[in-house]
C-alpha cells in the first residue's frame, strides 16, 4: 500500500539543504528560465573534492550566489536574465568542509525513489516521480513497518494489483531486495549519472 511519508523529511546531507530564507534576487525571474535546465543534476563536492551529493541546478546556483560553494566545472547552457547571461554549473565545491555521517540517509519518499532509480520494483519500468508511489512489501495491516527494508518504489498499476497482500500472495516478484540508502549506494548512483557528463568523471572514478 502507498506510504504516507513526508516528502519534506530533512536530509542528513547539510551540504544541499534548502536555505530557509527567500531565494536570492540574483536568480533570473521565472519567465526567463527554462525549467528543464533548472532541474539538471549538479555534482556537489566537499571542500576536499570528495563527491558527497547530487543536487539540481537551481539549488546549486543558490549555494553559489550565497557564497557557500564555487563552481569547478561549467555546463554548456546559460540562464538569461534581463541584463545578463549566467552560466550553469555542472560541478560545484563547498568552500567549508562538511562532515558527512557514515550512516544512511533520512527515510523519505524522495530517497526511496532515488535508491530505486525511479523504477517500479515489480514491473521494472522507469517512471517520472509523479507516477510512482511507495509500497509496503509486507502490508501495514500485517505489521509491516515503514522502513528501508520494507518500502519500495511502485507504479500505481502494480500497487493496485498487489493491494493489501504480500508479493507472493499477489503472484508478483520484487526486482531486488530493498536495502538502506548507504554512502556506497549514493556513490554508485553518482557514477551512473556521471556517465552522462564527462566533467564529473575525474571526481568520481578514483
- Count of domains in the chain? 2
Question: Does any domain span residue 58?
Answer: yes
Q: What is the pLDDT of residues 13-69, one digit of tens each?
A: 434 443 334 444 445 444 444 558 888 889 999 999 989 888 889 999 999 999 999
Residue 117 near residue 132 (C-beta atoms within 8 A)? no
Could you tell me if 44 and 91 lie in one domain?
A: yes
- Domain harbouring 135, CATH code: 1.10.30.50
Question: Does any domain span residue 13?
Answer: no
* Other CB atoms within 10 A of residue 33 CB: 17
> Is pLDDT above 80 for 155?
yes
Closest CA to 9 of 151, 147, 137, 109: 109
Give me the domain span that covers residue 91. 27-100+183-199
Question: Does any domain span residue 7?
Answer: no
Could you tell me if 59 and 160 lie in one domain?
A: no
Could you tell me if 148 and 189 lie in one domain?
A: no
- pTM to 2 decimals? 0.56
Question: Does any domain span residue 76?
Answer: yes
Could you tell me if 93 and 124 lie in one domain?
A: no
Query: What was the pLDDT predicted at 46?
Result: 94
Question: Does any domain span residue 3?
Answer: no
Amino acid at each position: 500500500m502507498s506510504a504516507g511519508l513526508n516528502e519534506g523529511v530533512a536530509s542528513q546531507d547539510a551540504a544541499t539543504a534548502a536555505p530557509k530564507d527567500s531565494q536570492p534576487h540574483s536568480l533570473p525571474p521565472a519567465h526567463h528560465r527554462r525549467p528543464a535546465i533548472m532541474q539538471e543534476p549538479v555534482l556537489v563536492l566537499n571542500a576536499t573534492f570528495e563527491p558527497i551529493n547530487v543536487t539540481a541546478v537551481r539549488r546549486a546556483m543558490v549555494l553559489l550566489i550565497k557564497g557557500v560553494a564555487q563552481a569547478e566545472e561549467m555546463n554548456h547552457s546559460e540562464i538569461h536574465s534581463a541584463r545578463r547571461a549566467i552560466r550553469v554549473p555542472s560541478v560545484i565545491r563547498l568552500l567549508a568542509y562538511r562532515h558527512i555521517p557514515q550512516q544512511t540517509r533520512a527515510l523519505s519518499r524522495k530517497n526511496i525513489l532515488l535508491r530505486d532509480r525511479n523504477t517500479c520494483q515489480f514491473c521494472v519500468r522507469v517512471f517520472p516521480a509523479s507516477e510512482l508511489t511507495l509500497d509496503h512489501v509486507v502490508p501495514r495491516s500485517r505489521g509491516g513497518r515503514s522502513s528501508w527494508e520494507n518500502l519500495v518504489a511502485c507504479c500505481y498499476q502494480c500497487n493496485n494489483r498487489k493491494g493489501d497482500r504480500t508479493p507472493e500472495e499477489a503472484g508478483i516478484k520484487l526486482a531486488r531486495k530493498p536495502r538502506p540508502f548507504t554512502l556506497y549506494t549514493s556513490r554508485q548512483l553518482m557514477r551512473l549519472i556521471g556517465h552522462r557528463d564527462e566533467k564529473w568523471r575525474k571526481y568520481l572514478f578514483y
